Chains A and B, each alone.
Chain A
Amino acid sequence: MSNQWSPIYEKDQVSQELVSRYVSMTERLSSNTFFIDNKPHIVIDQDVCSGCERKTCITACPAELFVELHDSSIGFNYEYCLECGTCLILCSGDGALSWSYPKDGRGVSYLYG
């Protein structure tokens, strides 16, 4: 690691240094314990998402579960959801998300917290 710490968001751009330190979200989430529900607890409405300009969910979801697909629809994987609610609060599309908690205690189970 170099000793020079530079502001990472110069002009809102993430610096190369941070990218090089960055581990994939899969690796980041791999240390967590999940009991995955067999049915998604969050369902998105593609019709709303395709027309959504901001697509805030893509950058705001701390588990990076939303991705934009080539036709500007959204790919979403509920499995490693941290159930934080950020997408629900920040979603700019009207009624795009049917949001609920996983059933029977499933989903993330924090061992530390």
Chain B
Amino acid sequence: MNTFYDLVVVGAGPAGSASAITAARAGAKVALIERGIYPGAKNVYGGVMYLGVLDKIVPSWREEIPYERWITKRETMVLDNSSSVTVTYHDESWGEPPYNGVTCLRSKFDSWLASKAQLLGVDLITSTTVSDIQFHNGSVKRVALKDTPDIVECKSVVLAEGALSLLSDRLGLSSPHKNNHLTLGVKEVLKLDAEIINERFNVSYDHGVDIEILGGLSPLAGGAFLYTNKDTLSIGVIVTLNTLKHHKIRPEFALEQIKAHPSIEPLIKGSKRTEYLAHLIPEGGWKDRGVLMRKGIYVAGEAASSTLAAGIWLEGVNYAIQMGIVAGEQAASYAKDENPSRSPLEYQNAIEGSFVGKNLKKLQHAPDLVLSDFVQRSLPLILNKSAKNILTVKDPLPKEGGIKAISNAIKDARVDKTTVLKAFLKTLWSFR
């Protein structure tokens, strides 16, 4: 193993591989170090990526990615006890280039993206954990590897270690509030014949469905999802660590609860579990980005709370890739001019100017709103009861009329109207 590099990238997730590709393109000598046996071995996500951001670094991705299905239907399903209200947007054009969302498995996708870095001369070093970063004269000097005396000399580091950011925490780069905004995702991959998936979800051969689920988890706060892969389904729940701790409910019980809901159960019937997974997500967004750059270390991806978690949107991979691209660019140039006095703001400003910073800032209040008691508990009740009041035919009684139906639903949900009005305004403002 060559032990001198311009740049060491810690973690071969989307952020790490994107930064390795970008830095290698800029001429840097790069090591990409990953603790899993292969990139993706340790990684978990829900299942839908938005990859337009790859146009910059792998323009041929549409023909090459190891994809499962192109998403042509997005549904938001709001659950109450024995009912649900679902809004569906179906767009066949999403099944054609340039596409929109796509389901991919992380074991395959992360390995594919890392292989793109290897093709550019990046050394991918797997089964290896970075245990420490050391400095000399105010700049990065080397990284130490766990369980070996080996060290790797380098001029800069991209820290793309993901949600559980042990190194960033230790170096004082993480936001002190990051851990208060962590959620836990537990997920199962369920095997089901491709033909059954096509019929059940009403899609043709490589088209798929993305279902975001709200409600049904109380007293835990969070959300759930169901996505179609080629011949598997990904189903999972995401719950806040705070409510898990407070209510002492086992996370997989929450998953079973969602799987047993009468609106979900028929969709997964007859499938067989092939994997059970768990992973954290930092949902604090922009306010929890921490120190993004110091002494030649660039923090990228979820280690810097890059994910947008705002109910109908759960986007992490694209944000991690974009941050990785910027980090790779800047770390390569830092290594080249070896100027330790380089302003950390350069990196922060570049992130701020990209869709990552813009969207995270614009939607900075959305995560709190989505996890609020109103959205978690009252909203599912009001929506379901309103739908029921409007759609149940009660002859010979006269119809209530829409406004009455909704105001009765609000009354049934035992929320007062000012709370609803306030929450409505807050929603408008948070998603403005």
A83, B42: Cα distance in complex, Å: 8
Residues in chain A near residue B126, CB distance under 8 A: 105
Question: Which of A31, A84, A113 is in CB contact (< 8 Å) with B105?
Answer: A113
* In the complex, per-residue mask of A73-113: 1 if CB is within 8 Å of any chain B CB, else 0: 00000000011111011100000000011011101111111
Asked if A70 is at the interface of the complex by the 8 Å CB criterion, the answer is no
Q: Is A8 a contact partner of B253 (Cβ separation < 8 A)?
A: yes
Residues in chain A near residue B278, CB distance under 8 A: 62-63, 82, 84, 86
* In the complex, per-residue mask of A7-27: 1 if CB is within 8 Å of any chain B CB, else 0: 111001010011001100100
Q: Is B42 a contact partner of A108 (Cβ separation < 8 A)?
A: yes
* In the complex, per-residue mask of B48-75: 1 if CB is within 8 Å of any chain A CB, else 0: 0000000000000000000000000000
Which residues of chain B (105-147) have a CB below 8 Å from chain A?
105-107, 110, 126-129, 146-147
Residues in chain A near residue B184, CB distance under 8 A: 60, 62, 84, 86
Binds A, one of B244-252, B295-303, B384-392, B397-405: B244-252
A26 CB, nearest partner CB in chain B, Å: 11
Asked if B280 is at the interface of the complex by the 8 Å CB criterion, the answer is yes
For the complex, would chain A's binding face be called helix, strand, loop or mixed by DSSP majority?
loop
Given contacts A18-B256, A85-B280, A89-B241, is CB(A112)–CB(B251) below 8 Å?
no
Q: Is A112 a contact partner of B37 (Cβ separation < 8 A)?
A: no
Residues in chain B near residue A89, CB distance under 8 A: 179, 182, 241, 280
Residues in chain B near residue A9, CB distance under 8 A: 218-220, 247, 249, 257
Asked if B336 is at the interface of the complex by the 8 Å CB criterion, the answer is no
Asked if B164 is at the interface of the complex by the 8 Å CB criterion, the answer is yes
A15, B274: Cα distance in complex, Å: 26
Q: Is B276 a contact partner of A28 (Cβ separation < 8 A)?
A: yes
A62, B244: Cα distance in complex, Å: 11
A75, B277: Cα distance in complex, Å: 22
A101, B42: Cα distance in complex, Å: 11
Asked if B260 is at the interface of the complex by the 8 Å CB criterion, the answer is yes
Q: Is A110 a contact partner of B44 (Cβ separation < 8 A)?
A: yes
A104, B105: Cα distance in complex, Å: 23
Asked if A38 is at the interface of the complex by the 8 Å CB criterion, the answer is no
Given contacts A5-B82, A101-B129, A112-B232, is CB(A22)–CB(B275) below 8 Å?
no
Q: Is A12 a contact partner of B252 (Cβ separation < 8 A)?
A: no
Number of interface residues of A (CB under 8 A): 47
A29, B275: Cα distance in complex, Å: 7
Residues in chain B near residue A28, CB distance under 8 A: 252, 273, 276
Q: Is B107 a contact partner of A112 (Cβ separation < 8 A)?
A: yes
Residues in chain A near residue B244, CB distance under 8 A: 59-60, 86, 90
Q: Is B262 a contact partner of A101 (Cβ separation < 8 A)?
A: no
Question: Which of B182, B250, B273, B276 is in CB contact (< 8 Å) with A59?
Answer: B250
Q: Is B273 a contact partner of A1 (Cβ separation < 8 A)?
A: no
Which residues of chain B (301-322) have a CB below 8 Å from chain A?
none
Residues in chain A near residue B261, CB distance under 8 A: 5
Given contacts A105-B127, A112-B105, is CB(A22)–CB(B253) below 8 Å?
yes
Question: Which of B164, B218, B220, B248 is in CB contact (< 8 Å) with A85?
Answer: B164
Asked if B344 is at the interface of the complex by the 8 Å CB criterion, the answer is no
Q: Is B275 a contact partner of A18 (Cβ separation < 8 A)?
A: no
A54, B278: Cα distance in complex, Å: 22
**Centre residue among A107, A108, A110 by max chain B CB count within 10 A:** A110
A18, B251: Cα distance in complex, Å: 13
Q: Is B275 a contact partner of A111 (Cβ separation < 8 A)?
A: yes
Q: Which residue of A lies closest to B217 (CB)?
A: A9
Residues in chain A near residue B273, CB distance under 8 A: 28, 31
A86 CB, nearest partner CB in chain B, Å: 5
Q: Which residue of A lies closest to B45 (CB)?
A: A113
Q: Which residue of B lies closest to A15 (CB)?
A: B257
A64, B186: Cα distance in complex, Å: 13
Residues in chain A near residue B110, CB distance under 8 A: 113
Question: Which of B41, B129, B274 is in CB contact (< 8 Å) with A103?
Answer: B129
A55, B256: Cα distance in complex, Å: 23
Given contacts A9-B218, A109-B41, is CB(A62)–CB(B252) below 8 Å?
yes
Residue pairs across A and B with Cβ atoms less than 8 A apart, 10 shown, are A8-B260, A9-B218, A14-B249, A32-B275, A62-B186, A84-B278, A86-B241, A103-B147, A104-B128, A112-B106
Please give the residue numbers on chain A whose beta carbons come within 8 Å of chain B beta carbons, in ascending order. 1, 3-9, 12, 14, 17-18, 21-22, 25, 28-29, 31-32, 35, 54, 56, 59-60, 62-64, 82-86, 88-90, 100-101, 103-105, 107-113
Please give the residue numbers on chain B whose beta carbons come within 8 Å of chain A beta carbons, in ascending order. 35-38, 40-45, 81-82, 105-107, 110, 126-129, 146-147, 163-164, 179, 182, 184, 186, 189, 218-220, 232, 234, 241, 244-245, 247-253, 256-257, 260-262, 265, 273-280
Beyond the given A18-B260, A62-B186, could you list 6 further A-B residue pairs with CB under 8 A, ordered by the A residue number? A9-B249, A60-B244, A82-B278, A105-B36, A111-B274, A112-B274
